[in-house]
Amino acid sequence: MAWLITTLIVVPILGALLASATRNYARGVALASNIITAIGAFLLWQSFDSTLPGLQLVERHGWIPAIGAEYLVGIDGLSLLLVILTSLVFPFALLAQSRPAGDRGFCALMLIMQAALYGTFTAQNFILWFLFYEMSLIPAFLLIKIWGGEKRDRAATKFFLYTFLGSVAMLLSFLGIYFAKGTFDFAGLANLAKNGDLLTGNVKWFAFAGIFLGLAVKVPLFPFHTWLPDAYETAPTGVSMVLTGTLSKMGVYGFVRLLLPLFPNEITTMAPWLLTLAVCSIVIAPLAAWAQSDLKRMVAYLSINHLGYCMLGLFAVTATAARPLVEMQAALSGVFMQIFNHGITAAALFYFVGLLEQRRGLRGIGDFGGLMQRTPLLCGWMSVAMFSSLGLPGLNGFVGEFLIFKGSFAMTASFTAAAVLGLLFTAVVFMRAMQSLFSGPLVETSIAFPDLRSNEKWVVIPVTLLMFAIGIVPQFLLNIFNSTVVQMTRLFA
Partner 1 sequence: MSSWSVTNLWLIPAVPLVASFFILILANSRRRTAAALAILGQIAALALSITAFLPTLAAPGFRSVHNFTWFTFGDQALRLGWVLDPLAAAMMIMITLVGLCIFVFSVGYMAGDKNLTRFFAYLSFFSGAMLGVVIANSLLLLFFSWELVGLASYLLIGFWIDRPSAAAAAKKAFITTRIGDLGFFLGMLWLYHSSGTLLFYDQGRGCLENAGLLAIGASATFIALLIFCGAIGKSGQFPLHVWLPDAMEGPTPVSALIHAATMVAAGVFLVARVYPLFSLGAVNGVTPSLTVVVWVGVVTALMASLIALAQVDIKRILAYSTVSQLGLMMVSLGVGGVAAGIMHLIAHGFFKALLFLGAGSVIHGLHHEQDIRKMGGLRWTMPVTFLTYAIGMMNLSGVPFFFSGGWTKEEVLHATAHWPVSALPHYLMLAGVILTALYMTRQIIYVFFGSARSTDFESVRPREFHSGEAATTTENISVGRTGQRPVFRAHESPRVMTMPLVILALCSILFALVLTPAWPWLRAYLNGESTHVVFGSLIQPVILLSFVLVAAGIGFGWLTYRNAGETDPLARTQPGLFRFLENKMWFDEIYERTIIAFSRILSRLTDWLDRYFWDGLVRLFAGLGQAFGVLSKGFDDHGINAGVDETTSGTRGFGRLISAAHSGQIQTYLGAIAIGMLLLLVLYAWLG
Binding site for partner 1 (CB under 8 A): 158, 161-162, 223, 225-227, 229, 284, 287-288, 290-292, 325-330, 332-333, 370, 372-373, 387, 392-394, 398-399, 402-403, 405-406, 409-410, 413, 416-417, 420-421, 423-424, 427-428, 431-432, 434-435, 438-442, 473-475, 478, 482, 485-486, 489
Q: What are phi and psi of 323, to 5 degrees?
A: -125, 85
Shortest CB 367 distance to partner 1, Å: 17
Shortest CB 465 distance to partner 1, Å: 13
Choice between 333 and 345, CB closer to partner 1 = 333
Choice between 102 and 394, CB closer to partner 1 = 394
Choice between 99 and 154, CB closer to partner 1 = 154
Measured CA to CA in angstroms, residue 139 lies from 117, 152, 274, 399 at distances of 11, 14, 31, 33
Shortest CB 391 distance to partner 1, Å: 9
Of residues 183, 246, 177, 256, the one with CA closest to residue 210: 177
Shortest CB 119 distance to partner 1, Å: 29
Shortest CB 43 distance to partner 1, Å: 25
Q: Say how many residues make up the chain.
A: 493
Helix axes 126-135, 137-147, angle to 10 degrees: 0
User: Residue 61 in 3-state DSSP?
Assistant: strand
Shortest CB 218 distance to partner 1, Å: 15
Choice between 29 and 418, CB closer to partner 1 = 418
Choice between 209 and 427, CB closer to partner 1 = 427
3-state secondary structure 349-408: HHHHHHHHHHHHCCCEHHHCCCHHHHCHHHHHHHHHHHHHHCCCCCCHHHHHHHHHHHHH
Q: Are 142 and 16 in contact (CB under 8 A)?
A: no
Between CA 260 and CA 220 the distance in angstroms is 17
Helix axes 325-360, 475-492, angle to 10 degrees: 130
H and E: helices and strands count for the chain: 23, 2
Between CA 308 and CA 313 the distance in angstroms is 9
Count of beta carbons in the 10 Å neighbourhood of residue 491: 15
Shortest CB 11 distance to partner 1, Å: 33
Shortest CB 441 distance to partner 1, Å: 6
Q: Are 234 and 151 in contact (CB under 8 A)?
A: yes
- Which helix H or strand E contains 71, and what residues bound it? strand 69-75
Shortest CB 355 distance to partner 1, Å: 19
Choice between 220 and 238, CB closer to partner 1 = 220
Choice between 325 and 362, CB closer to partner 1 = 325
Between CA 130 and CA 101 the distance in angstroms is 32
Choice between 20 and 157, CB closer to partner 1 = 157
3-state secondary structure 219-230: CCCCCCCCHHHH
Shortest CB 70 distance to partner 1, Å: 32
Choice between 158 and 194, CB closer to partner 1 = 158
Choice between 138 and 423, CB closer to partner 1 = 423
CA pseudo-torsion sign 168, 337, 276, 327: negative
Q: Are 204 and 266 in contact (CB under 8 A)?
A: yes
